[in-house]
Amino acid sequence: MIVDTDLESIIAEHFKEAAKQFPELEQCKSQSGTPTVEGELRFKATRDQDTIDECFSVRISFPDDYPLRPPYVEELWGRIPRYGTKAFHTYGDTGHLCLGAPPEVSEKFARHPTLRDFIEKQLIPYLFLFVNDFKEGTIELGPEVERSHGAKGMLEFYVEWFGVKGHVQALALLKFIVEYGYRGHMACPCGSGKRLRSCHGEVLKPLHLHRTHDGMCVDLVSIYLSLPESERHEIPFQASLLGLIEKLVLESKSRSTKTRN
Ligand SMILES: [Zn+2]
């Protein structure tokens, strides 16, 4: 695998800054030759007078377009259970920690796009939450850290981002952006009767900065499929949503055959 030298130098620079705060992290290479940052992450963190003094072994990997997109993290000592009733927020297939709904992680990262900030503002809060979940007595945490996993967490994110009541409106807005992108003159899909630009336009517009079109398609399909049958039937535009989903699935199939050839 060829690694972009620009990417390598950005990671090296970000690593240097992070290592000042976390000196037990090292710059390494994965088996495929891509740069990683690995080692022991030692930290003290406090929230609501609750302090933890902790150490986790982590491997941080970087996407090809870093720092446009955030890094991802694995926990190497197996402290964070991935399966069973005690499973904590992780992706079963890759073992990467699920730090939040992807667009939310991306949006937070875009505000502070460095490795050190990523560790301090996203990874450590996640580890803090994990440690506290396994202690006696739970502490009150805001919804932005305690988000459900998978499609449910994704739906919670969109409901909050759009500022809507529930899945029907969230899906309506998500479906709109997937189909049309931003069209200020069209009627707002929330059903208010106003034009998009004077209703949900302001929250719809910046979403593409944090989630690719493909990503939003995946979110739309997975949220829909995660709903119980009864809730799916409640969606007034169910038929056109199903049509769109079918189209998206066909498109992604034809794309994956094309890339294979
Ligand atoms: Zn609206």
pTM of the complete model: 0.63
User: What is the structure's pLDDT at 249?
Assistant: 82
The dihedral region occupied by 49, where left means phi > 0, alpha psi between -120 and 50, and beta the remainder, is: left
Which pLDDT does position 255 carry in this prediction? 72
Distance 189 CA to ligand 1 centre (A): 6
Contacts 24+ apart (CB under 8 A), 231-236: 231/167, 234/168, 235/167, 235/168, 235/171, 236/168
Indicate the average pLDDT of the chain: 86
How much distance in Å is there from the Cα of 178 to the middle of ligand 1?
Answer: 16
3-state SS, residue 73? strand
DSSP symbol at 195: B
State the first-to-last Cα distance of the chain, in angstroms, to the nearest integer: 19
Confidence of residue 47 (pLDDT cuts 50, 70, 90): confident
The CATH T-level fold of domain 5-136 is Ubiquitin Conjugating Enzyme (3.10.110)
> Model confidence over 202-228: pLDDT tens digits?
999 888 878 888 888 888 988 998 899
Instruction: Let me know if 209 is exposed, middle or buried by CB neighbors in 10 A (0-12, 13-18, 19+).
Output: exposed
Is the pLDDT score of 12 beyond 70?
Answer: yes
Dist. CA 187–CA 201, nearest whole Å: 10
Whether 139 shows a pLDDT value over 50: the answer reads no
* Mean predicted confidence (pLDDT) in 1-10: 76
SS3 content of the chain, % helix, strand, coil (to 5): 50, 15, 35
User: In the prediction, which pLDDT does 86 show?
Assistant: 67
Between residues 99 and 140, the one the model is more confident about = 99
Cα(11) to ligand 1 centroid in Å equals 41
How sure is the predictor about 258, in pLDDT bands with cuts at 50, 70 and 90? low
Is residue 138 very low, low, confident or very high in pLDDT (cuts 50, 70, 90)?
very low
Q: How far is 139 from 196, CA to CA, in rounded Å?
A: 39
Look at phi and psi of residue 160 and say left if phi exceeds 0, alpha if psi is from -120 to 50, else beta: alpha
Higher pLDDT: 77 or 189? It is 189
CA of 196 to the centre of ligand 1 (A): 6
Give the highest mean pLDDT range of 27-36, 83-92, 131-140, 236-245: 236-245
64 vs 141: which has the higher pLDDT: 64
pLDDT digits (tens, 9 = 90+) for 73-86: 999 988 887 776 66
Taking residues 54-83, report their average pLDDT: 90
Residue 142: the pLDDT is: 42
Cα 163 to averaged position of ligand 1 atoms, centre (Å): 9
| Rounded distance from Cα 118 to ligand 1 centre (Å) | 33
Where are the domains positioned within the chain?
Answer: 5-136, 150-260
Sheet holding 72-75, edge to edge: 25-29, 35-47, 50-61, 72-75
pLDDT at residue 50, as a whole number: 80
pLDDT at 23 > cutoff 80: yes
Task: Find the 252 Cα to ligand 1 centroid distance in Å.
Answer: 29
| Beta pairing, strands 72-75 & 50-61 | antiparallel
* 130 or 172, greater pLDDT: 172
Tell me the pLDDT band of 114, cut-offs 50, 70 and 90: very high
Alpha carbon of 204 to ligand 1 centroid (Å): 9
CA distance 45 to 127: 10
Res. 155: pLDDT tops 50:
yes
CA of 107 to the centre of ligand 1 (A): 22
Q: Write the single-letter amino acid at 222.
A: S
* Mean pLDDT across 83-107: 81
Neighbours of 26 (CB within 10 A): 12
